[in-house]
Amino acid sequence: MTRFAIEAEGLRKRYGDTHALAGFDLAVAEGTVCGLLGPNGAGKTTAVRILSTLLLPDGGTARVAGFDVVGDPAQVRYRIGLAGQQTSVDEILTGRENLRMWARLFRLGPREAKRRTDELLEWFGLAGAADKRVKHYSGGMRRRLDLAASFILAPRVLFLDEPTTGLDPRSRTEVWRAVRDLVAQGTTVLLTTQYLDEADRLAHQIAVLDAGMVIADGSPSRLKSMIGGDQIDVVVRDAADLPSAARIIARVADASPEIDPDAARVTAPVKDPLEAITVTARELRDAGLQVEDLTLRRPTLDEVFLSLTGRGAGADGDRPAAEKGMVRP
Amino acid sequence: MSMPIAPAIPTTPAERLRWALSDAWVVSGRELIHWVRNPVVILNTLLFPLIMVLLFGYVFGSAMRVAGGGDYREFLMPGMFGQTMVFGVISTVYVVAANAARGVTDRFRSMPVSSFGVLMGRVIADMLTSTLDLVILMLCGLLVGWRAHHGLGSALAAAGLLLLLRFALVWVGICMGLRLTPEGAGAAWMPLFPLTLLANTFVSPELMPAWLRIIAEWNPLSATVQACRELFGSPGLSGGSWAAEHAIELAIGWPLLITVIFLPLSIRRYRRLNR
Ligand SMILES: Nc1ncnc2c1ncn2[C@@H]1O[C@H](COP(=O)(O)OP(=O)(O)O)[C@@H](O)[C@H]1O
Ligand SMILES: [Mg+2]
The pLDDT of residue A115: 94
Rounded CA separation A33/B74 (Å):
68
Rounded CA separation B254/B267 (Å):
20
The pLDDT of residue B110: 92
Residue B8 lies in a domain: no
Q: What is the DSSP letter of B78?
A: H
Domain count for chain B, please give it: 1
- For domain A4-225, the CATH class is alpha beta
Mutate to test the pocket of ligand 1, among A11, A12, A45 (most ligand atoms within 8 A of CB): A45
Q: In chain B, whose CA is at the least distance from the CA of A94? A: B33
Place A318 in a pLDDT band, splitting at 50, 70 and 90: very low
Dump strand ranges (E) for A165-244. Answer: 188-193, 205-210, 213-218, 231-236
Atom 16 of ligand 1: nearest residue by CA position: A43
pTM of the model as a whole: 0.83
The pLDDT of residue A140: 86
> Is A216 in a helix, a strand, or coil?
strand
> Is the distance from the beta carbon of residue A15 to the nearest atom of ligand 1 less than 6 Å?
yes
Q: In chain A, whose CA is at the least distance from the CA of B16? A: A107
Rounded CA separation A201/A270 (Å):
19
Quick check: B12 contacting A, CB < 8 Å?
Answer: no
Q: In chain A, whose CA is at the least distance from the CA of B26? A: A101
Cα–Cα distances (Å) from A312 to A46, A212, A231, A279, A304, in that order, read: 22, 16, 16, 30, 8
Size of interface A-B (CB pairs under 8 A): 90
Q: What is the pLDDT of residues A196-233, one digit of tens each?
A: 888 988 999 999 999 999 999 999 888 877 776 788 99
Q: What is the pLDDT of residues A276-300, one digit of tens each?
A: 889 999 999 999 989 999 988 877 7
Which burial class, exposed, middle or buried, applies to A311 when counting CB atoms under 10 A from its CB (0-12, 13-18, 19+)?
middle
Ligand 2 centre from A308 Cα, in Å?
Answer: 21
Q: pLDDT exceeding 70 applies to what percent of chain A?
A: 94
ipTM of the complex, rounded to two decimals: 0.83
Rounded CA separation B211/A106 (Å):
54
Q: In chain B, whose CA is at the least distance from the CA of A55? A: B275
Q: Which residues pair with A208 in a beta bridge?
A: A37, A216
Q: What is the pLDDT of residues B162-192, one digit of tens each?
A: 999 999 999 999 999 999 998 888 888 888 8
Quick check: A252 contacting B, CB < 8 Å?
Answer: no
Atom of ligand 1 nearest to the CA of A48: 17
B4:A55 CB<8 A: no
A5-28: b (≥16 Cβ within 10 Å) or e = bbbbeebbbeeeeebbbbbbebbb
Rounded CA separation A269/A253 (Å):
6
Residue B49 lies in a domain: yes
Q: What residue ranges do the domains of chain A occupy?
A: 4-225, 230-297
- Residue range A33-48: mean pLDDT, rounded: 95
Cα–Cα distances (Å) from B159 to B43, B219, B227, in that order, read: 20, 19, 10
Residue B186 lies in a domain: yes
Q: What is the pLDDT of residues A180-196, one digit of tens each?
A: 988 898 899 999 999 88
Ligand 2 centre from A41 Cα, in Å?
Answer: 7
The pLDDT of residue A324: 33
Which residues of chain B lie closer than 8 angstroms to A84, CB-CB?
A: 103, 106-107
A107:B112 CB<8 A: yes
Atom 26 of ligand 1: nearest residue by CA position: A41
- Domain range for residue B144? 18-55+70-192+263-271
**A139, pLDDT greater than 60:** yes
Quick check: B106 contacting A, CB < 8 Å?
Answer: yes
> Is the distance from the beta carbon of residue A38 to the nearest atom of ligand 1 less than 6 Å?
yes
- At B126, give phi and psi (nearest 5°): -65, -35
Chain A, window 287-326: residues with a beta carbon less than 8 angstroms from a chain B beta carbon: none
Ligand 1 centre from A37 Cα, in Å?
Answer: 15
Atom 3 of ligand 1: nearest residue by CA position: A15
CATH architecture entry for A230-297: 2-Layer Sandwich (3.30)
